[in-house]
Structure 1
Amino acid sequence: MNGEKPHRSGEEAMRKSSSVPGRAPLSLRFTDPSLAAIALMLSVTAAPAFAQAAAGDPDGADTAQSKPEVASPSEEKEIIVTGSRLGSGFTAPTPVTTIGVAQIEDRALASVAELAYDIPQLRINQNVGKSSEPVGQNVADLRALGGARTLLLLDGRRLAATSPFGGIDTNIFPLSLISGVEVVTGGASAAYGSDAVTGVVNFSIQKKLEGLKVDASYGVSDYGDFNRPVLSGAAGHSFLDGRLNITVAGDLYRNTGQTNVDTRPWGRGNPVLFNNPNYTATNGQTKNYLATNALYSRMTFGGLTVVPSTSPLYGIQFGKNGTPTPFVYGTPANSTFMLGGGGVSIIGDGNILPRITRYSGFGRVSFDVTENVSIWSEVLWSRVQVDSDLAPNYDNGTLTIQRDNAFLPSSVRQTMLNNNINTFGFGRVNLEDGPSLNNSKARALRYAAGAEGDFGGGWKWDLYLQRSENTFRQESQNNRIQSRWFQGVDSVISPVTGQPVCRINANASAADDNPACVPINVFGAGSISPAALAWYRGTSFYDARMNQGTIGANINGSPFRTWAGEVKLAFGGEYRHETIDSVSDDVSRISGWRSINQQPFAGKLTVWEGYAEAAVPLATDMAFAKNLDLNGAVRYADYSSSGGVTTWKVGLNYSPVSDVRFRGTISRDIRAANINELFAGQNQVINAINDPRTNVTANTLQLTGGNRALNPEKADTKAVGVVFQPSFIPGLNASIDYYSIKINNAITAIAPQTIVNNCFRENITSFCDLITQNAANQITSIQATLINAQTIEAAGVDFELSYRRPVQWFGTAGTIGSRLLVNYVDKLQLTASNVTTVLLGDIATDPGGQPRWKANFDLTYAGGPLRLGAYVRYIGGGKFRTIYVDDVDLPADQNRVKGRGYLDLSASYKISDHIELYGKIDNLLNNEPPVIPNAIFVPTVSNSQMYDKIGRYYVAGVRLRF
């Protein structure tokens, strides 16, 4: 993030220095460690003299101090980072990365979701267009192994899902009170909770604020869009000689979003992943290639006949007032697109990102009953609204027109009579319908209360209870009721009135009559009447209520000492009860809409958990070891859905000398299916699927949903590393860690294209059972519900380097510092039915993989009232799709995706003790994302969430502190 501070390799207690108030660290993000080293050397040689270490660390996080916190960045607090339940005074062998409040401020972050850009181990995981799930939701996803395997905590207590599709949207947090973020990058189920397979992200909230702080900013892109006003504030005051404190906070965030992709140079030209109709196994062409100038081959805004080229009806489109005119085909043409010709396209209207509006509030009351006991209560409220417009309703040549259609131009009818043609296929984009508006509103409401204290002798305790009542509503406006649409299109001239009527009201049978049916004229742009729109258009909805009740308790202390020091022990337990109840409209329940059709479901889940963790020092200040200690934890969880499971961890810290610490852990981590994975109803998604038998790509129905027969998954995690903190270079900290995660019985949904490939390419019958075909052997649907796969594996290396030093420039004492974070992924793959799918470097998959390299390099300076920052972020490249064979499925050069580097700058200046002005420029060089489109009706032109799509972005703001 910003002004990085973590010095102690990100996981040791950050210590206060001595003298310059308001000092900030410095952070940098670079693509190559050598660049970081050069920057560090420059920062050392440029400093003419050492200044005393600044007083206080800029990344102040709450440290459970008894005195109130002051709403001022100059009062910096110590961050205690342990990666353990054992509390301060012990450093766990599990790697931990921290983000502090100064980093958040220096980077001028407007939402917690933006933290993912500053932690390479986190996969950027915002849903920007999958209409069957909450568009705009951002879920923390460590190691690209899925958000369900990352445990999200607020002050050490778990949160409830914010949507019925699973996951916790990080947008709900009030950024104004976050004092630090602790990311435990490794198996942590035993210590933190049974879902922490890949790690834990813990957000800390300032507990006792004293004073008032307000932060207001406005952001806009270089293109004059993505306007982003943000207003946040927090206030607190203590009463009764400091024993009682009341703290409140609130945030308002709005991102106008909804920007068409053709507003960006890289998004113009109608790019598409083009399915090559001319491919054969021997002609040297590829099955697909990336192309521009893609227009629809079977649809126009006024309608197009879709018949064989030998038919006399071939190539007729319908213009103004339904007038038949010739249609010019591009070359080549597949089942959705053609290159060139006289067609139309709305690819340029596709959105870059959705519009998000967020309101959040937080309140906390704490009271010190005695010197050793305090009680507290708090409430968190958030409302997140996301608006996204999708493609209008369309029929890609699938509409059947009868010869006696009431609105069919007479010349076309005569041609049909002359050639004995009864019906023809018809394609049309219904611009009259307007865009499909996919909107969602999520409300999170969480009450909590608890008490904490100490028994004396170093033993501490805490207990809490909390209740979450979250709601979610999703609406799809301008959706189409298929039965009504087809009834209205199939209209005839009434023999009684001589006027157009629906065929069902003119045929001999009265059983299917519906007097409300309105005949629909589909010939010519703008031909559909308002009465017809009212007949078949509507709004589908889906409402869900998710409740969670939790009671927990923790105790930690030291039961005795060994020859090497105090033994530390922590133990506790938690009871959790979750329910979900969802409803949808009547049409959705019979899958009657053209898209979405969310299915209702209900379920409940109860979990009992108990854990114990211990740290045993084995050697201190001995000839062979400056320090040697053993850390272990065990947790038992009993799920009402699947029974009892046990998770454990064993770790070791070894320092042969004070400057070097070796660390290592092995753990067995457990995750049982969550309530959504167990009970979710069958939902529909339409996506482009290529049939390898014919090399034809078609929009295909995919069915997703839960599975009550899911078994718990088990992960074996290994991590080993070294931390270097040389006493002869004060302020330098470095660490390198290797990790390996293997998840057996993994709960996952196999990608639909993988299912098709494994069936028809690899001839694996178990995958063929998931595919439904029609009489012509065309794929009509794919069952992609959750299953227990064989394994998911991930392995790689994390590297962290930080350096900070005091400097004296132009008579002003300040601090300069840097931080480099690098994640190298060596393995990321899924195995099901003995078929392995490589996700490493898979850029365009949804859900996607992770590039081999990601790195952040931050450099910051703080002196007097001035703070400056430069940040470089690198996201590596990979392949468009790892399942594509170079020069067979896609040309080799098009299947390679180059990485991107981004340079951000920030600055702030304190006019007085109460007013600070700040600004930043993100993506200073305006680097464009890779153009990697998919093949759907309105392709996502840059089909990856990892790369910046907005472009150069400016933010200016003011902070007030009183």
Structure 2
Amino acid sequence: MKQIFRGRLLGSSLMVGASMLAATAAWAQEGASGDGQIAVPNGVAAAAPSSAQATTQDTGPTNVDDTQGEIVVTGTLVRNPNLVQSSPVQAVTSEEFSRRNANVAEQLIRELPGVVPSIGSAVNNGNGGASTVDLRGLGSNRNLVLLDGRRIAPLGLSGVVDTNNIPVALVERADLLTGGASTTYGADAVSGVVNFVTKRDFSGVELSASNQITEQGDGNYFRTDLTIGTNLDDGRGNAVFSIGYQEADPVLQGGRDFSNFNIDSRTGLAGGSGTTVPARFTGLGLGTNQQINVATGALVPTYALFNFNPQNIFQTPFTRFNMFGAARYEVSPAIEFHTRGLFSRNTVQTVIASSGTFGNSLTIPFSNPFLPAAARGQICTAQGLTTAQCNAAATAQPTIVVGGQTVANPAYRTFNANVARRFVEAGPRLSTYTTTIFDYEAGVGGDITSGIQYDVTGSYGESENIQRQSGNGTLTRLRQAALATNTATCVNDSNGCVPINLFGPAGSITADQLGFLLGVTNSTATRTTLSQVRGLVSGDTGIAIPFATNGVSFALGGEYRRYTAAVISDELTQRPNEVLGNGAASPDVRGEYDVKEAFGELIVPLIEDRSFFRNLTLELGGRVSDYSTAGTNWTWKAGGTWEPISSFKIRGNYQKAARAPNIAELFSPFVQGLDNGTDPCASINATVGSALGNVCTAQIVAAGATQQQANAILAGGIVTDAGGQINVSSGGNAALGVETANTWTVGAVIQPTFLPGFSLTVDYYNIRVRDAITSPTVGDVIGGCFTPLQAPTSVACSQIQRSVTDGSLSNTAAGVILPLSNLGRIRTDGIDLTANYRQNLGFGALALSFNGNWTNKNTFRATPTSVNRDCVGFYSTNCLSIQPEFSFNQRTTLTIGGADISLLWRFIDSVRYEPLALAADLDTANGGLGAPQADFQRIGAEHYFDLSTRFGITDNFDLTLVVQNLIDNQPKVVGSTIGSTAYNSGNVYPSTYDALGRRFSAAVRLRF
């Protein structure tokens, strides 16, 4: 905590210093690098700044200002503005952020073709308080998120960056680089990088404010930013300071017709959770799950599931306060000091349905004052008690006084039951994640010669994420409160225990009872640090080879990084199953590693200004990395560009990339979690003595039951929780090694001279990851045992561990074991296509842009014996976020004078239920539970339209009005149990398909 405090103090000092420096200088209008104008491909006419296209495809370096200071080129460390690179880079400009009224970077990035939605504001159950990026669907841990080409402090144990911390107000553009970039940026850049480039020479004052609300009147989102900057000594330096605040309100699933009621994906009928109200009981010897009939007090077969949808949300509540400051000053051409500080404090809240006792085993006296007489009689019969014994037990206290001595009461009896009762009286469960990040960087650079520069930079960052939970309760207090024989006190009354009524309808648990049950809080803190130092020498050697006029450019350097991470939980959170509604414990975790690296790059012009060889350039690079945890490995790249004529260019790049295991993958202990899944042992074909039944009973016996007990459990019926969730267990593996990848891209850039203002780029990418650090999917493990059916003692079936009390994959069972290993194989390939056209119409300007992606495949095989699963165009519990085969964004912008109108068309190809999952569902002989509803097995192609209008009211003031989801498309309902919990929520897929509906926003910007 002291380190974080010192970091915050230092960051605040930097910000105040930058602000004072800016305030004492003369104001100037914002320069070319800050007016929103984008870099245009050579030969393409640029439209007015107000009609800047949505995205561009780089054909050369994307620098902000190559006349002074550092050049930020995504994909290479060589700083020569005259040379091109072989890797395709898609750039999203500040204009696009403005047109979308994007409040955080993740909201815009996840809608780009080729990007698969990851954890963000549309993920509720499964959100750890952050927003991440997933390029190509290979996982957020296989791409880097950079700020001005540098790493910043990561979010947690996995080393990923929380994009909520990106200072959107100062972002000039976001560059998305396809394919491996480990040679340039080090490990983790297997699928590419997202580099947020800030405005380098901002000068003046800019105040902006925006507000967004849905047509339903909810989900209000407010944001305001103030940026102050100035250029110093005729451009020798610059200082900028930006401060921002934003706040988002939730959108409840109960506020939309399609999500108000939970729908079971298989039956198409009302679904929900078996942890319900009135309470449901198992383990009483009464056969199937029994639920209290509140009218009669009797136990009857389950008749009412709990509809948890209304309490869940589609948009997580969010607040952020952020500061960003940067300054640079050139003392001489050989010495330029630069510094940058980032501070952000974010609060994200997830809201899920009320807590409860989720099948916990409780000991209950027959004399419990809330136990209905009818239910007591049924339980007595099931327990083999006579009527006289039952009547005596109904009022018996634990002890009696005999001859002046207190002794055990022989009439006092208890029974054990697995109780599922929702505490609706307490409201929803809230998890509040407060993230505080500080990241500071300072360095010095300059000219060694007129063509060679150096830069030495050091940085340090800390991130702290604190989770505080409320509305849960603890198992210890629940068991204490259930063990009561009167309404006032518990058998153990040492801490003011209040007996709890688990047998009544909604509202029967009183405020006093809740006060005792929920009278403790729990929290977890995750802290990370990143220290790094980098030295770089780069530039033009001045040596040109024959047939070339430009010299060979190079970059040489070294880098050191040290990561630390720790999870610190309170005592309650560390105890397995203690916090009700959590299931998994969160034990303390600590880990660290460091890496030393040396790297080099060359860009070699081979032929220039010759027939059919206007330009032929070779690009080479290599990096050696020494990890304290994973040893030494090499990465390298080779690429080139060939421009036979001025209007046509071919480019290609081949890279060997690598990724070392992160702290989570190495050091996390095995813990339980939840995910959607189906249990073959819940099938009607799972009978005692059948081949399927023998596998089921063997797994119950392995948990500690006798064969007789296992047979009795199976005969009574194993029921998957009606909420569709099962336990899964996963954790780290200290024996993990480095995963490697081979990536290559090849493409073309076309800028025909006969069509001025038009450009077209097309690039094919291919990424293969070997020795991938992966764990099997739930379907992999269940299918490995049951499809086809294996022997009860097989290794495949041992990866499924059941509850010893009811045989389920829920309760306290470990459930499906998902171990991490280096046995995975991942492969994806596809094509990116970008086209832009700009035309001066005389009375105005027209800008057209198209950005599309076709993904051929994205296959994943967890182990050599697992299914080689392809999730492109499919969805199921085995496939996480939806990745369509084809998607595109097309923007049309018309500018007339100081105003423009722009229409964005977003297209998502149709997807369908995964064929492998469907085959397993239909294999009822081996436990398949039947297919989802036919109408739920396909989501048709979706078209979204967003309309924005901007008015330049004065030279210094403009107004932007935006209507998102113009035609108010509703997401396709597929039920709540057809996909993974994080992305299949509220009967739909809200990260991919707009669940908020039509939204209106207005933004004003004042500049002087």
TM over 0.5: yes
- Please give the root-mean-square deviation of Cα atoms over the aligned residues, in Å: 3.1
Q: What CA distance in whole angstroms lies between the structure 2 residues aligned with 1:652 and 1:314?
A: 70
Query: 429-438 or 161-170, which moves further after superposition?
Result: 161-170
Q: What CA distance in whole angstroms lies between the structure 2 residues aligned with 1:949 and 1:156?
A: 34
Listed as ranges, the matches of 1:93-104 within 5 Å are 93-104=86-97
- Partner SS for 1:534: helix
Q: Partner residue of 2:271?
A: 294
- Note the alpha carbon deviations across 1:27-62, whole angstroms, 9 max, x for none: 599xxxxxxxxxxxxxxxxxxxxxxxxxxxxx9973
1:542 and 2:496 matched: no
Q: What CA distance in whole angstroms lies between the structure 2 residues aligned with 1:127 and 1:405?
A: 46
Q: Partner residue of 1:48?
A: none
Deviation at 1:16, TM superposition (A): 7.7
Deviation at 1:762, TM superposition (A): 4.4
Q: Partner residue of 2:544?
A: 561
Q: What CA distance in whole angstroms lies between the structure 1 residues aligned with 2:74 and 2:477?
A: 61
Task: Name the CA shift for 1:626/1:228 in 2 (closer, same or farther; >3 Å).
Answer: same
Structure 2 alignment gaps of length 5 or more = 1-34, 386-414, 684-718, 923-930
Alignment coverage as a number of residue pairs: 869
Deviation at 1:480, TM superposition (A): 2.2
1:651 and 2:639 matched: yes
- Partner SS for 2:735: coil
Task: Name the CA shift for 1:629/1:82 in 2 (closer, same or farther; >3 Å).
Answer: farther
Q: Partner residue of 2:995?
A: 949
Task: Name the CA shift for 1:28/1:370 in 2 (closer, same or farther; >3 Å).
Answer: closer
1:633 and 2:618 matched: no
Q: Partner residue of 2:834?
A: 800
Deviation at 1:403, TM superposition (A): 2.7
Q: Partner residue of 2:175?
A: 182
1:609 and 2:597 matched: yes
Q: Partner residue of 1:44?
A: none
Task: Name the CA shift for 1:128/1:156 in 2 (closer, same or farther; >3 Å).
Answer: closer
Q: What CA distance in whole angstroms lies between the structure 1 residues aligned with 2:587 and 2:521?
A: 15
Task: Name the CA shift for 1:679/1:872 in 2 (closer, same or farther; >3 Å).
Answer: same
Deviation at 1:405, TM superposition (A): 2.3
User: Which of 853, 860, 877 is the equivalent residue of 2:893?
Assistant: 860
Q: Is contact 1:219-1:227 (8 Å) kept? A: yes
- Partner SS for 1:561: coil
Q: Is contact 1:878-1:899 (8 Å) kept? A: yes
Listed as ranges, the matches of 1:2-17 within 5 Å are 12=41
Task: Name the CA shift for 1:749/1:882 in 2 (closer, same or farther; >3 Å).
Answer: farther
One-letter identity of the residue aligned with 2:194: V
Task: Name the CA shift for 1:316/1:529 in 2 (closer, same or farther; >3 Å).
Answer: closer
Q: Is contact 1:96-1:184 (8 Å) kept? A: yes
- Partner SS for 2:842: strand
User: Which of 520, 524, 528 is the equivalent residue of 2:500?
Assistant: 520
Q: What CA distance in whole angstroms lies between the structure 1 residues aligned with 2:204 and 2:802?
A: 66
Q: Partner residue of 1:824?
A: 854
Q: Is contact 1:687-1:702 (8 Å) kept? A: yes
One-letter identity of the residue aligned with 1:848: S
Task: Name the CA shift for 1:798/1:955 in 2 (closer, same or farther; >3 Å).
Answer: same
Deviation at 1:629, TM superposition (A): 1.5
Q: Partner residue of 2:297?
A: 324
Listed as ranges, the matches of 1:200-349 within 5 Å are 200-257=193-250, 259-273=251-265, 289-294=266-271, 298=274, 300-304=276-280, 316-318=292-294, 324=297, 345-349=307-311
Deviation at 1:484, TM superposition (A): 2.1
Q: What CA distance in whole angstroms lies between the structure 2 residues aligned with 1:859 and 1:758?
A: 50
- Partner SS for 2:203: strand
Deviation at 1:133, TM superposition (A): 5.5
One-letter identity of the residue aligned with 1:317: N
Deviation at 1:528, TM superposition (A): 2.6
Q: What CA distance in whole angstroms lies between the structure 1 residues aligned with 2:845 and 2:951?
A: 15
- Note the alpha carbon deviations across 1:650-687, whole angstroms, 9 max, x for none: 11211222211111121110110122322233343123
Query: 114-123 or 565-574, which moves further after superposition?
Result: 114-123
Listed as ranges, the matches of 1:14-33 within 5 Å are 22-27=49-54
1:742 and 2:776 matched: no
1:481 and 2:474 matched: yes
User: Which of 372, 381, 405 is the equivalent residue of 1:409?
Assistant: 372
Deviation at 1:458, TM superposition (A): 1.1
- Partner SS for 1:190: helix
Q: Is contact 1:61-1:179 (8 Å) kept? A: no
- Partner SS for 1:318: coil
Query: Scaled by the length of structure 2, what TM-score is found?
Result: 0.81
Q: Partner residue of 2:714?
A: none
Q: What CA distance in whole angstroms lies between the structure 2 residues aligned with 1:398 and 1:110?
A: 42
1:593 and 2:573 matched: no
Q: Is contact 2:110-2:133 (8 Å) kept? A: no
Query: Scaled by the length of structure 1, what TM-score is found?
Result: 0.85
Q: What CA distance in whole angstroms lies between the structure 1 residues aligned with 2:885 and 2:38?
A: 25
Q: Is contact 2:179-2:743 (8 Å) kept? A: yes
Q: What CA distance in whole angstroms lies between the structure 2 residues aligned with 1:678 and 1:459?
A: 41
Q: What CA distance in whole angstroms lies between the structure 1 residues aligned with 2:463 and 2:42?
A: 35
Q: Partner residue of 2:872?
A: 840
- Partner SS for 1:871: strand
In proportion to residue count, which structure has more helix? 2
Task: Name the CA shift for 1:299/1:558 in 2 (closer, same or farther; >3 Å).
Answer: closer
Deviation at 1:573, TM superposition (A): 1.6
Q: What CA distance in whole angstroms lies between the structure 2 residues aligned with 1:244 and 1:528?
A: 66
Task: Name the CA shift for 1:515/1:243 in 2 (closer, same or farther; >3 Å).
Answer: closer
- Partner SS for 1:673: coil
One-letter identity of the residue aligned with 1:154: L
- Note the alpha carbon deviations across 1:229-265, whole angstroms, 9 max, x for none: 11012001244455443210012111102x2213123
One-letter identity of the residue aligned with 2:871: L
Q: Is contact 1:28-1:857 (8 Å) kept? A: no
Q: What CA distance in whole angstroms lies between the structure 1 residues aligned with 2:535 and 2:418?
A: 66
Percent identity over paired residues: 27
Q: What CA distance in whole angstroms lies between the structure 2 residues aligned with 1:438 and 1:129?
A: 15
Q: What CA distance in whole angstroms lies between the structure 2 residues aligned with 1:547 and 1:485?
A: 39
Deviation at 1:941, TM superposition (A): 1.9
Q: What CA distance in whole angstroms lies between the structure 1 residues aligned with 2:467 and 2:992?
A: 25
Listed as ranges, the matches of 1:433-452 within 5 Å are 433-452=426-445
One-letter identity of the residue aligned with 2:573: S
Task: Name the CA shift for 1:798/1:5 in 2 (closer, same or farther; >3 Å).
Answer: farther
Q: Partner residue of 2:316?
A: 354
Q: What CA distance in whole angstroms lies between the structure 2 residues aligned with 1:516 and 1:165?
A: 42
Task: Name the CA shift for 1:308/1:412 in 2 (closer, same or farther; >3 Å).
Answer: closer
Q: Partner residue of 2:142?
A: 149
Deviation at 1:489, TM superposition (A): 1.1
Q: What CA distance in whole angstroms lies between the structure 2 residues aligned with 1:729 and 1:312?
A: 74
- Note the alpha carbon deviations across 1:704-726, whole angstroms, 9 max, x for none: 32222111100011211111111
Q: Is contact 2:36-2:172 (8 Å) kept? A: no
One-letter identity of the residue aligned with 1:865: G
User: Highest relative contact order (Cα 8 Å, sep 6+), 1 or 2?
Assistant: 1
- Note the alpha carbon deviations across 1:394-453, whole angstroms, 9 max, x for none: 345655555332321234334545674666664421112321111101111001101121
Q: Is contact 1:136-1:354 (8 Å) kept? A: no
Q: Is contact 1:839-1:882 (8 Å) kept? A: no
- Partner SS for 1:105: helix
Q: Partner residue of 2:949?
A: 907
Q: What CA distance in whole angstroms lies between the structure 2 residues aligned with 1:659 and 1:241?
A: 38
Deviation at 1:590, TM superposition (A): 2.0
- Note the alpha carbon deviations across 1:715-743, whole angstroms, 9 max, x for none: 01121111111111111111111111110
- Note the alpha carbon deviations across 1:513-546, whole angstroms, 9 max, x for none: 8554432222223333434323332322111221
Q: Is contact 2:74-2:195 (8 Å) kept? A: no
Q: Is contact 1:366-1:375 (8 Å) kept? A: yes
Q: What CA distance in whole angstroms lies between the structure 2 residues aligned with 1:132 and 1:191?
A: 36
In proportion to residue count, which structure has more strand? 1
1:582 and 2:555 matched: no
Q: What CA distance in whole angstroms lies between the structure 2 residues aligned with 1:351 and 1:554?
A: 47
Q: Is contact 1:468-1:547 (8 Å) kept? A: yes
Q: What CA distance in whole angstroms lies between the structure 1 residues aligned with 2:894 and 2:194?
A: 28
User: Which of 410, 422, 435 is the equivalent residue of 1:429?
Assistant: 422
One-letter identity of the residue aligned with 2:800: I
